[in-house]
């Protein structure tokens, strides 16, 4: 006598399969556009990157701003609170011990971390190492890399002060440098003399700074 077969249970999938195409037909037409769109966007993005790389040797058509710098993007998304430094704290950041104290440049009170990209110019032996670990705003205008390493801007013309502002904006907009905070200076005694002009300060390249040669 043949064994009696138990009726095979119908899986929920098979039981509903006959109904599914009709039930979902209106929804699938609208949702299927999305993956196609995503595919095209990915293709467009990859093509754009490849073309840019082939034409400009850069992935971003030569643009190098904050939006292509991962560190800048991180700082924009997760900003760290600005620091307030004393002059002696700032001095530790002169590039002599960069693993412990990142390289800082200050101008008119604003302090920037220039470790990323600035080591050659501001690090020890660099052309502008005199600007590291201090606020030498005056020398930014006068080019007196020895005697004007001070934030004292007394006696400068409006045009000179505009130069300071331009430098400040240079650091603020720089793709790699990062705003750290402010350095607090002791107040300048108005009875102290204004720093003397130095001979030919502006005529000398910044290279005089680190080498210890050149103008006062």
118 binds ligand HEM (CB under 6 A): yes
We find the least distance from the C-beta atom of residue 202 to ligand HEM, in angstroms, to be 5
Distance in angstroms (rounded) separating the CA atoms of residues 174 and 161: 20
Single residue of 140, 153, 180, 214 touching ligand HEM by CB under 6 A: 140
- φ, ψ of residue 180 in degrees (nearest 5): -105, -40
d(CA 113, CA 137): 16
Helix or strand holding residue 183 (H, E): strand 178-184
What mask of x and - would describe binding to ligand HEM in positions 191 to 210, judged by CB under 6 A? -----------x--xx----
Q: Least distance from C-beta 30 to ligand HEM, angstroms?
A: 53
> Of 191, 211, 68, nearest to 146 (Cα)?
211
Under the binding rule (CB under 6 A), the answer on residue 104 touching ligand HEM is no
Q: Residue 63 in 3-state DSSP? A: coil
173 interacts with ligand HEM by CB under 6 A: no
d(CA 99, CA 13): 62
> In terms of Cα–Cα distance, which of 110, 112, 88, 90 is closest to 101?
90
Judged by CB, which is closer to ligand HEM: 95, or 118? 118
Q: Token pair of 198, please?
A: 């130095």
Out of 128, 132, 134, 178, which residue is the one contacting ligand HEM (CB under 6 A)?
Answer: 128
Nearest-approach distance from CB 122 to ligand HEM, in angstroms: 7
Site for ligand HEM contains 121 (CB under 6 A): yes
Indicate the residue whose CB is closest to ligand HEM.
Answer: 143
Report the interface residues with ligand HEM, using CB under 6 A: 118, 121, 128, 131, 140, 143, 202, 205-206
């Amino acid at each position: 006598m043949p064994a009696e077969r138990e009726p095979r249970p119908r899986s929920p999938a098979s039981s509903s399969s006959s109904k599914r195409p009709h039930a979902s037909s209106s929804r699938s037409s609208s949702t299927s556009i999305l993956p196609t769109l995503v595919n095209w966007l990915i293709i467009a993005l990859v093509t754009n990157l490849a073309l840019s790389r082939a034409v400009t040797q850069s992935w971003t058509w030569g643009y190098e701003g904050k939006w292509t710098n991962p560190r800048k993007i991180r700082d924009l998304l997760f900003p760290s609170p600005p620091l307030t430094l004393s002059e002696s704290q700032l001095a530790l950041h002169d590039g002599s011990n960069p693993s412990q104290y990142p390289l800082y440049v200050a101008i008119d009170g604003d302090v920037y971390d220039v470790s990323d990209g600035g080591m050659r110019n501001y690090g020890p032996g660099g052309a502008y190492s005199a600007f590291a670990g201090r606020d030498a705003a005056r020398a930014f205008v006068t080019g007196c890399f020895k005697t004007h390493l001070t934030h004292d801007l007394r006696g400068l013309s409006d045009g000179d002060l505009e130069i300071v502002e331009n430098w400040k904006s240079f650091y603020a907009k720089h793709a790699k440098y990062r705003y750290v905070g402010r350095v607090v200076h002791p107040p300048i005694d108005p009875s102290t003399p204004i720093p003397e002009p130095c001979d030919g300060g502006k005529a000398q390249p910044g290279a005089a700074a680190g080498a210890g040669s050149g103008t006062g």
